[in-house]
Amino acid sequence: MRMLLRVICALGLVGCQTSSEPSVTPASQQPLVAPTHEEAAPEERAYFGPTQADEPPRMHEQDNRDVIEFSPSDLSTAAEGTFPTVIVPFRGLNEEEAARLATQFELVTWPEREVVATVAHYLDDAMEGGPTHARVVLEPRESLTDRWYALRARLDRDSGQARLRTRERQDAYMITDTHAYARFRVGSQPIVQRIDIASAADGEARVIVGFSERMRVDGDRLPAEVAVEGRALDCRLLNPDEARDESGSIELGLACSGARPGARVTVHFSGSPLVSVRTVMENDRLQHSRGPALVGAGGSDGTRDVFELDLPTIPEARLVSPSASDEERQARWFTATARSSFGFDPRELARSAE
């Protein structure tokens, strides 16, 4: 009987199907069964160490891959022994391209702005997967003397090329409509290089004072007064042991209350117990001695300098590691930077800020 059915099926006389063949139901007759979806597993972030997201930023943070930088940095002192250098985001330039780029950079005396003769060297020795920048080193034709100089970069470029990109605000160097400057001194002059404030919405703020040379607090009084609209804030030293250590520190930290977003904050060092530290090697041991007191960038008494900072009303986020959570990436810090405008006409900087 089974053999007869096979013969009939082979002749196509009737529709036949063996038990080993899959059953196919027309689409219109298929049962409507909702497919089941497994819940997607939560995204796993690779751990790259502490994110420091709960710490306020120490300065304005941004992606600097496409901007120029300077060495020595702005308002550095005791900078002898280092060739002035502009760090540029242009790799693999040929000789002609490098020479054309180098014409945009000059070494000048400060504040006179007289050009100092140099020889430019384009160096692209960054390794693959390493730094994204090359360097233009300006080698002075004669030794630099103990005085102020500045690296100057012309921002406009020839042949219709896009302007050189700079940092978003003047927290690493000074920017005018046409140029960027990094001022530095060959020789010692302990000054306040910059002041950074990072505040939270409740007004709890961290004030970081950066010095051009190592300084220490000589005494029990606070070395700076931080005020909002003339009212002194309640502040304390963040690192009292380090601040008073005989070896000094390149920066000083204060924790203050009452610096809310939108406030104008002033910082000054009137009667400040800050002194610089001189360090020499004697008999294979470091010896620290007291140096001169704080000086202003223009040579005045440094305790007379007043730094003004306007805290923004729009927060910014910290740059944190890829392992940080979305919450840790939220913008929540209100940051501002101040530095001396020594050698600038205020109108130059006002136009660039518009």
Please check whether residues 227 and 198 belong to one and the same domain: yes
User: Where a domain ends, among 185, 210, 234?
Assistant: 185
Please give the DSSP secondary-structure letter assigned to residue 314: S
Residue 251 has pLDDT above 90, yes or no: yes
Q: Residue 184's pLDDT band (boundaries 50, 70, 90)?
A: very high
Q: Residue 41's pLDDT band (boundaries 50, 70, 90)?
A: low
- Distance (Å, whole) CA 9 – CA 147: 106
Question: Quick one: what percent of the chain has pLDDT higher than 70?
Answer: 81
- In this prediction, residue 102 carries a pLDDT of 96
- Distance (Å, whole) CA 258 – CA 200: 10
- Which residues lie closer than 8 Å to 2 by C-beta, 6 or more apart? none
Tokens 């000086």: give the residue: 295
- In this prediction, residue 26 carries a pLDDT of 42
- Distance (Å, whole) CA 292 – CA 45: 50
Q: What are the angstrom distances between the C-alpha of 186 and each of 77, 79, 81, 110?
A: 6, 5, 9, 11
140 cis-preceded (ω within 30 degrees of 0): no
Domains in the chain: how many in total? 2
Please check whether residues 154 and 178 belong to one and the same domain: yes
| pLDDT, tens digit (0-9, with 9 covering 90-100), for 318-333 | 777 777 777 777 888 9
Contact 346, 71 (CB under 8 A): no
Tokens in use for 125? 């020795």
Flag whether 31 is in a domain.
Answer: no
- Which residues lie closer than 8 Å to 259 by C-beta, 6 or more apart? 197, 199, 203, 204, 205, 207, 226, 228, 233, 265, 311
Please check whether residues 176 and 201 belong to one and the same domain: no
Q: What are the angstrom distances between the C-alpha of 1 and each of 4, 6, 10?
A: 5, 9, 14
User: Where a domain ends, among 185, 204, 226?
Assistant: 185
- Distance (Å, whole) CA 271 – CA 263: 25
Flag whether 63 is in a domain.
Answer: no
Task: Read off the pLDDT of each residue in 269-291 and give the average, rounded to a whole number.
Answer: 85
Contact 294, 192 (CB under 8 A): yes
- In this prediction, residue 13 carries a pLDDT of 41
- Which residues lie closer than 8 Å to 248 by C-beta, 6 or more apart? 214, 215, 216, 276, 277, 288
- In this prediction, residue 6 carries a pLDDT of 47
The CATH number of the domain holding residue 76 is 2.60.40
SS3 5: helix
Q: pTM for the whole thing?
A: 0.80
- In this prediction, residue 12 carries a pLDDT of 43
Q: Which of 136, 269, 138, 253 is nearest to 205 (CA)?
A: 253
Residue 147 has pLDDT above 70, yes or no: yes
Tokens in use for 262? 């939108």
Please check whether residues 227 and 332 belong to one and the same domain: yes
| pLDDT, tens digit (0-9, with 9 covering 90-100), for 15-37 | 444 333 333 344 434 444 444 44
- In this prediction, residue 44 carries a pLDDT of 59
Q: Edge-to-edge strand order for the sheet containing 264-268?
A: 231-232, 225-228, 264-268, 306-310
Q: By residue range, what is the domain housing residue 122?
A: 69-185
- Distance (Å, whole) CA 22 – CA 14: 18
Residue 198 has pLDDT above 60, yes or no: yes
Flag whether 84 is in a domain.
Answer: yes
Flag whether 15 is in a domain.
Answer: no
Please check whether residues 327 and 235 belong to one and the same domain: yes
Task: Read off the pLDDT of each residue in 200-219 and give the average, rounded to a whole number.
Answer: 94
- In this prediction, residue 3 carries a pLDDT of 42
- In this prediction, residue 4 carries a pLDDT of 40
Q: What are the angstrom distances between the C-alpha of 28 and each of 16, 32, 176, 211?
A: 21, 10, 73, 80
| pLDDT, tens digit (0-9, with 9 covering 90-100), for 49-72 | 555 667 777 767 677 789 999 999
- In this prediction, residue 351 carries a pLDDT of 61
Please give the DSSP secondary-structure letter assigned to residue 106: E
